Structure formats: structure tokens, C-alpha cells
Amino acid sequence: MPLIEVTYASRVPEAILRELAQRLPHLVSVAVECPEEPYDLDLQPGDVELRFRELGPFDRSGLDVVIEVRSKWFASRADNRQERVERLHADIEQATGLDDFGVYLSLPVAAWEQSEPDHPAGQA
């Protein structure tokens, strides 16, 4: 279950942010897919957490957008993490046209548990 945080400059158009919000869950899921956590192309609530934050007055960044991805460490992910992040960067660039951004992939030793919803997906 990847956690994705997008930090962006105020000059980034809302259309680009909307495109990132739509495409990142799939692109990141493809990038971190591994035998221990296969991606079946059917994202469910809790499969990906996506958060956006505009740079504040005291933040410093040389890029328009920084995308931080955290996903549980598995040896199969860690062995080729640089290839994974390079492919993810290229996929995001191709999908959105974004050209001044960075992607940080972190694979911490972690665990995750979540509540099971009492209602069908998409309904509150």
C-alpha cells in the first residue's frame, strides 16, 4: 500500500494537479508492484493513499513538484529501486507533461492494517 505525497509550487496549474491525482495511484502501483504485493489493476479503498500540499512560505524547493512515494520494503522492490523510480519519473512525465519535478521512492520496513468498510466501495 503506497503512500504518495505531492508537494507543489503555487505556479503549478490546477489541471496538472488534477491529472496527477487521477494518474498517480495507477502509475505508482505499477512502479512498486512485486510478487509479495502484486497489482491487479483494480485499486480499492486503502490500496493507495494520496495527499497534496502546496509549498508554504518557509518551504524551499528547486522543483515545481516533488512526489514522495513510500511503500513497504521487500527485497524484490529494493533490488531495483533506482530503475523503478526512473521508470516512474518517465511515466509521470509522459502521462502529464510535467517537466520540472522529482520523485523520491522510499522503501521503509513497515506494516499496515486497515478497517474493512461496512459499505460498498465508493458509498459513504
Domains of the chain: 3-106 (3.30.429.10)
Residue from 59, 68, 53 nearest 8 by CA? 53
The whole model's pTM is what? 0.86
Average pLDDT over the chain reads 91
- Residue 66: strand pairing partners: 7, 102
Q: Could you report the per-residue pLDDT of 15-24, keeping only the tens digit for each?
A: 999 999 999 9
Confidence of residue 120 (pLDDT cuts 50, 70, 90): low
| Residue (of 49, 51, 66) closest to 9 by Cα position | 66
Query: pLDDT tens for residues 45-86?
Result: 889 999 999 999 999 999 999 999 999 999 999 999 999 999
Q: Give, for 66, the enclosing helix (H) or strand (E).
A: strand 65-70
